[in-house]
């Protein structure tokens, strides 16, 4: 595994590696991605293997210019309303943390979409990601660069610690600024758009532009007729989880609980009158109680707490506005991962 910088020469080197079929972890504004050429089936297979990711969980294809969209998605097959929504959203929110589900082009390998008739497309705003995509093949499949089910990486060091030699190249672009994955919105059905994953673009912003969207978290028959395949496999309840069991509390509840030794705390905002206990095993997502700042710190602080070998992490819910919905979604899944059906999502998918 080779570490590269964000210098022009290094990005070109990484792009050449990617184009030749190697796996390149790279920074985006949301989290680090594990990139492979979207049209190279062998490279795609290595992505699933490196992450220990089930083949039924499709990848997001990253582009760096709007014109590349037509290589991946069959946008001519969209009905008038969906085409209009695509045009508005791509004009206002691309590049940025929004992934759109669209009908797939037959030439895009089925492995990238796990056999679904649709493809997930994202145009990241991170300049390093854009250069890497442009200098390589123009279409880069990239899931978050973490073992399946575990916390997403917001720093190059997280990728190194979690995937190590399973990656060929890591571009170190510092900390991801948004901090939670992109919002996933399905425009493929022709009906009302469905929000499949809350993420870095707030639902409110999308609804301002195209009107009401449906929040969809059910299951349906998906790839290859699998009965329990979620509409979006990222909806698997046990996901985005630290190794340490996490328990979620309502806002304000956490500060009133007695301190228990060996337990960590993750506050959304500073608890009144408790500033002296911060640090150590306690973190605060946002000093100003702001959901954007909190999202940027979420995975970073969970990584920090997870490294402390605590018996439990108690986390406080965020308000539901702005990026709060994405924060709560990740915390709820982390809590679920430690709960009844899975002893621990990471244990169940531990790398050999
Ligand atoms: O911010 C992000 O989106 C990051 C960075 C690296 O771009 N990527 C990311 O990828 O979060 P990943 O693989 O961890 O999550 C992709 C999500 C999954 O929930 C997957 O099930 C969903 O997108 N997805 C991909 N293709 C889909 C499709 N055709 N239909 C429905 N959901 C799809
Ligand atoms: Mg992921």
pLDDT per position as a tens digit, 258-281: 989 999 999 999 998 776 566 799
Is 118's C-beta closer than 6 angstroms to any atom of ligand 1?
Answer: yes
User: Of 95, 181, 239, which is best to mutate to test ligand 1, by the most ligand atoms within 8 angstroms of its C-beta?
Assistant: 181
User: pLDDT-based confidence at 352, cuts 50/70/90?
Assistant: very low
Largest CA distance in the chain: 59
Q: What proportion of the chain, given as a percentage, has pLDDT over 70?
A: 88
Residue 228 has what pLDDT?
40
Is 60's C-beta closer than 6 angstroms to any atom of ligand 1?
Answer: yes
User: pLDDT-based confidence at 221, cuts 50/70/90?
Assistant: very low
Task: Please state the rounded mean pLDDT for residues 306-323.
Answer: 97
Residue 42 has what pLDDT?
98
Sheet holding 214-215, edge to edge: 2-4, 169-171, 24-26, 33-37, 140-141, 60-62, 118-122, 98-103, 183-186, 194-197, 214-215
- pLDDT at 347 > cutoff 50: no
Residue 240 has what pLDDT?
81
pLDDT per position as a tens digit, 315-334: 999 999 999 999 999 999 99
- pLDDT at 76 > cutoff 90: yes
pTM (predicted TM-score): 0.92
Is 201's C-beta closer than 6 angstroms to any atom of ligand 1?
Answer: no
| 3-class state of residue 239 by DSSP | coil
- pLDDT at 166 > cutoff 90: yes
Residue 234 has what pLDDT?
55
Find out whether 96 and 201 touch, Cβ atoms under 8 Å: yes
d(CA 59, CA 55): 10
Task: Please state the rounded mean pLDDT for residues 281-301.
Answer: 97
pLDDT per position as a tens digit, 40-67: 999 999 999 999 999 999 999 999 999 9
Is 294's C-beta closer than 6 angstroms to any atom of ligand 1?
Answer: no
Q: What proportion of the chain, given as a percentage, has pLDDT over 90?
A: 84
d(CA 106, CA 42): 18
Task: Please state the rounded mean pLDDT for residues 72-86.
Answer: 98
Contacts of 260 (CB under 8 A, 6+ apart): 312
Question: Which of 134-138, 184-188, 237-241, 291-295 is predicted with the least confidence, judged by mean pLDDT?
Answer: 237-241
Structure tokens at 165: 């030699």
Is 116's C-beta closer than 6 angstroms to any atom of ligand 1?
Answer: yes
User: Of 58, 64, 132, 323, which is best to mutate to test ligand 1, by the most ligand atoms within 8 angstroms of its C-beta?
Assistant: 58
Find out whether 44 and 38 touch, Cβ atoms under 8 Å: yes
Is 326's C-beta closer than 6 angstroms to any atom of ligand 1?
Answer: no
User: pLDDT-based confidence at 154, cuts 50/70/90?
Assistant: very high
Q: Whose CA is nearest to atom 3 of ligand 1?
A: 182
Whats the size of the chain, residue-wise? Answer: 352
Contacts of 176 (CB under 8 A, 6+ apart): 27, 28, 29, 30, 31, 32, 154, 155, 296
pLDDT per position as a tens digit, 187-218: 999 999 999 999 999 999 999 999 999 998 64
CB atoms within 10 A of CB 262: 10
The backbone torsions φ and ψ at residue 330, rounded to the nearest 5 degrees and listed phi first, read -70, -40
Give the HSE-up count for residue 71: Cα atoms under 13 Å, Cβ half-sphere.
15
Residue 219 has what pLDDT?
32
191-224 burial, b at 16+ Cβ within 10 Å, e below that, comes to: eebbbbbbbbbbbeebeeebeebeebeeeeebbe
Instruction: Give me the torsion for CA of 204, 209, 211, 215, rounded to 10°.
Output: -40
Residue 275 has what pLDDT?
63
d(CA 17, CA 36): 9
Q: What rounded mean pLDDT belongs to the chain?
A: 90
* Cα 307 to ligand 1 centre (Å): 26
The dihedral of CA 75, 76, 77, 79: what is its sign?
Answer: positive
Find out whether 78 and 48 touch, Cβ atoms under 8 Å: no
Residue 338 has what pLDDT?
74
């Amino acid at each position: 595994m080779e570490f590269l910088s964000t210098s022009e020469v290094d990005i070109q080197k990484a792009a050449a590696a990617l184009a030749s079929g190697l796996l390149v972890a790279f920074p985006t504004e949301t989290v680090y991605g594990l990139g492979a050429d979207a049209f190279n089936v062998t490279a795609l297979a290595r992505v699933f293997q490196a992450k220990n990711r089930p083949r039924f969980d499709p990848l997001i294809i990253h582009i760096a210019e709007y014109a590349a969209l037509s290589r991946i998605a069959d946008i001519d097959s969209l009905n008038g309303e969906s085409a209009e929504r695509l045009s508005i959203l791509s004009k206002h929110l691309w590049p940025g943390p929004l992934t759109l589900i669209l009908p797939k082009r037959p030439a895009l390998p089925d492995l990238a979409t796990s056999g679904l008739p649709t493809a997930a497309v994202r145009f990241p705003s991170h300049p390093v990601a854009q250069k890497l995509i442009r200098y390589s093949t123009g279409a880069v499949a990239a899931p978050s660069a973490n073992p399946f089910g575990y916390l997403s990486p917001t720093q190059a060091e997280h990728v190194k610690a979690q995937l190590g030699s399973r990656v060929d190249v890591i571009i170190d672009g510092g900390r991801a600024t948004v901090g939670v994955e992109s919002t996933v919105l399905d425009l493929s059905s022709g009906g009302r758009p469905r929000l499949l994953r809350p993420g870095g673009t707030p639902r409110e912003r999308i609804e301002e532009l195209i009107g009401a969207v449906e929040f969809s978290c059910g299951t349906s028959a998906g790839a290859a007729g699998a009965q329990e395949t979620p509409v979006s496999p990222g909806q698997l309840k046990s996901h985005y989880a630290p190794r340490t069991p996490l328990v979620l509390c309502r806002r304000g509840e956490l500060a009133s609980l007695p301190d228990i030794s060996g337990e960590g705390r993750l506050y959304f905002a500073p608890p009144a009158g408790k500033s002296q206990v911060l640090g150590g095993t306690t973190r605060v997502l946002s000093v100003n109680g702001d959901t954007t700042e909190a999202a940027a710190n979420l995975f970073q602080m969970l990584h920090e707490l997870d490294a402390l070998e605590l018996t439990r992490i108690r986390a406080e819910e965020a308000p539901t506005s702005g990026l709060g919905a994405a924060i709560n979604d990740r915390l709820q899944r982390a809590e679920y991962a430690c709960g009844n059906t899975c002893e621990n999502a990471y244990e169940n998918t531990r790398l050999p």
